């Protein structure tokens, strides 16, 4: 999904409430469709902590994630927002600390997670399946909410740091969905409304299939495609169109087969065995020197 609307609207950083924590993130280009949502997110952040307006003001990239990004959302799905921000100087070399902010907007079922760029990089270099997705949302995607010129450099350099830890990460996440499905079914806990309707919790199954396929694609190509090419199949799984109430054993067997395909992808991977530590180090130094070090101290 592409959108040309992103470049048609931009704004300079304006720190409005609380101490003036700033850094030199260049002009933010915002998809006009999400301008009101960004304002609501910032207002909620400031309402919780007046000193953290900079989380949005210094944002390098924000995007829609979750089921909307995968192409499997329904009218009842939450809207997941994911992003990366650049903390001001005092959070790098001073006494203040920040890793991420998580919040839920009081209206609209919107869940937000925004990471300190250092934590995001650490999780991405470790190929955390929930975090690495951000790398594969292009600036001109309809899923992009906000981007900056500096993000192009960060994205390019970070993609080069992806490595074979992708196998362990995606394999672990995929099999955890399978185990959760089995455990919740055994002890009759979890999302009983799904199990009561469909026989067992097929939301776990759909996540397991998706994670296995994403991991296999990343290992073989170095990329992940959004929306997911198998989104129609995933939706059929989730809503009980592939597996009936008595088909749990078949579903489990198919999930194990999907993880075995992930193992085969590992044997064919284009990714290096490990990340280039020196390149990772240079990227962090580049971010600090160019966007943090020259910023003013808070007033």
The closest of 50, 116, 118, 106 to 83, measured between CA atoms, is: 116
DSSP β-bridge partners for residue 102:
113
Within a 10 A sphere around the Cβ of 24, how many other Cβ atoms?
15
- Quote the pLDDT of residue 186: 86
Residue scoring higher pLDDT (3 or 41): 41
pLDDT tens-digit map of 78-135: 999 999 999 999 999 999 999 999 999 988 799 999 999 999 999 999 999 999 999 9
Place of tokens 């101490």: 19
Count of residues making up the chain: 299
DSSP β-bridge partners for residue 85:
59, 116
Angstrom distances, CA of residue 51 to CA of 40, 45, 97, 117, 127 = 16, 9, 12, 18, 31
The tokens describing 235, both together, are 């939706």
- Quote the pLDDT of residue 213: 98
Place of tokens 């210094």: 58
Q: Is the pLDDT of residue 6 over 80?
A: no
Structural domains in the chain, CATH included, are 31-162+278-292 (3.30.460.10), 165-267 (no CATH)
Arithmetic mean of pLDDT over the chain: 91
Q: Is the pLDDT of residue 14 over 50?
A: no
- Please, are residues 240 and 216 in contact by the beta-carbon 8 Å criterion? no
- Quote the pLDDT of residue 298: 58
Q: Can you tell me the distance from the alpha carbon of 146 to that of 54, in angstroms, rounded to the nearest whole number?
A: 15
Residue scoring higher pLDDT (277 or 24): 277
pLDDT tens-digit map of 150-206: 999 999 999 999 999 999 999 999 999 999 999 999 888 888 889 989 999 999 999
Q: Can you tell me the distance from the alpha carbon of 293 to that of 201, in angstroms, rounded to the nearest whole number?
A: 50
């Amino acid at each position: 999904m592409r959108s040309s609307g992103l470049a048609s609207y931009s704004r300079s950083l304006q720190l409005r409430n609380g101490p003036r924590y700033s850094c030199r993130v260049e002009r933010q280009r915002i998809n006009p469709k999400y301008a009101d949502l960004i304002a609501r997110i910032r207002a909620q952040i400031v309402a919780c902590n007046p000193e953290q307006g900079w989380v949005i003001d210094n944002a390098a990239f924000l995007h829609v994630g979750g089921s909307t990004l995968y192409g499997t959302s329904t009218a009842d799905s939450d809207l997941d927002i994911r992003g990366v921000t650049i903390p001001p100087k005092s959070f790098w070399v001073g006494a203040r600390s920040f890793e991420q902010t998580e919040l839920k907007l009081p209206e609209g079922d919107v869940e937000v997670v925004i990471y300190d760029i250092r934590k995001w990089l650490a999780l991405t270099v470790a190929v955390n399946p929930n975090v690495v997705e951000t790398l594969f949302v292009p600036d001109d995607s309809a899923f992009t909410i906000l981007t900056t010129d500096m993000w192009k450099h960060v994205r390019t350099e970070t993609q080069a740091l992806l490595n074979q830890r992708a196998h362990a990460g995606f394999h672990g996440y995929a099999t955890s969905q399978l185990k959760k499905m089995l455990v919740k079914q055994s002890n009759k806990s979890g999302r009983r409304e799904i199990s009561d309707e469909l026989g067992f919790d097929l939301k776990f199954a759909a996540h397991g299939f998706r994670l296995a396929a994403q991991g296999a694609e990343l290992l073989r190509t170095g990329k992940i495609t959004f929306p997911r090419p198998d989104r129609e199949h995933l939706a059929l799984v989730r809503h009980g169109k592939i597996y009936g109430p008595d088909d749990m054993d078949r579903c489990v067997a198919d999930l194990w087969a999907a993880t075995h395909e992930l193992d085969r992808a590992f044997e064919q991977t284009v990714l290096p065995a490990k990340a280039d530590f020196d390149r990772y180090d240079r990227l962090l130094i580049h971010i600090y020197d160019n966007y943090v070090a020259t910023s003013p101290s808070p007033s």
